[in-house]
């Protein structure tokens, strides 16, 4: 089974190429489902109670809410506040990582984004890697309003220079997202902000 889950597909400026926008991780796919496909909150809260071995009053004490609040969650499926979901994830992670991940997904998070596990490094089979690279090229082309054919050589040069400089893609991404133009500041003898 392929590790690619297509989010959507958009036509590239290249006439015969379709660029799938993909998610290439080995993590949980709860975020890929619609809210209607997710477990109802009242079912999730019941599973949390069982996993933690807590009654309604004890769970309320752990979350700093009243037992009536837990009762409302159980009856109506009211959404958990993000800090309450995070507390549940912290309590669950040592006991039931899968359930902790499902609770995290209710807030659009994963155990990795919450810092509770290191993100899985995706493994790409030979058939998937070209699609992933094409998705990157298409994203850059769309951002620049250029054709992928025009952008690809620039990306090759940039990636090669980053590798030669010993800079990871994560470092490049963080620096590009955090800073504006860096060269003028360096030329003026100031450290970039």
Is residue 84 over pLDDT 50?
yes
Whether 192 contacts 182, CB under 8 Å: yes
Is residue 161 over pLDDT 70?
yes
pTM of the shown model = 0.46
Owner of token pair 């993590």: 27
103-129 pLDDT per residue, tens: 988 888 889 888 888 776 666 677 778
Owner of token pair 């807590």: 54
- Whole-number pLDDT of residue 185: 53
**Alpha carbon separation from 64 to 21, 59, 76, 93, 99 (Å, rounded):** 41, 9, 19, 19, 21
38-47 pLDDT per residue, tens: 678 788 888 9
* Among candidate residues 31, 54, 34, 43, the one with its CA nearest the CA of residue 104: 31
Average pLDDT over residues 67-71: 88
* Among candidate residues 31, 43, 44, 37, the one with its CA nearest the CA of residue 99: 44
Q: What is d(CA 70, CA 96) in angstroms, rounded to the nearest whole number? A: 20
Domains of the chain: 31-105 (1.10.260.40), 123-187 (no CATH)
Q: What is d(CA 89, CA 183) in angstroms, rounded to the nearest whole number? A: 43
- Whole-number pLDDT of residue 122: 65
């Amino acid at each position: 089974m392929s590790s690619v889950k297509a989010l959507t597909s958009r036509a590239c400026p290249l006439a015969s190429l379709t660029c799938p926008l993909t998610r290439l991780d080995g993590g949980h796919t709860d975020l890929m489902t619609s809210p209607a496909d997710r477990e109802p909150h009242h079912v999730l809260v019941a599973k949390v109670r069982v996993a933690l071995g807590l009654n309604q009053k004890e769970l309320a004490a752990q979350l700093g809410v009243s037992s009536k609040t837990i009762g409302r969650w159980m009856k109506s499926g009211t959404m958990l506040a993000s800090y309450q979901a995070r507390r549940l994830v912290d309590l669950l992670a040592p006991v039931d990582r899968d359930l902790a991940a499902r609770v995290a997904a209710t807030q659009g998070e994963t155990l990795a984004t919450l810092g509770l596990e290191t993100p899985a490094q995706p493994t790409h089979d030979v058939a998937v890697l070209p699609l992933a690279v094409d998705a990157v090229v298409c994203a850059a082309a769309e951002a620049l309003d250029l054709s992928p054919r025009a952008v690809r050589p620039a990306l090759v040069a940039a990636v090669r220079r980053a590798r030669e400089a010993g800079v990871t893609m994560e470092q490049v991404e963080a620096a590009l997202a955090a800073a504006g133009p860096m060269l003028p500041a360096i030329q003026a003898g100031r450290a970039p902000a």
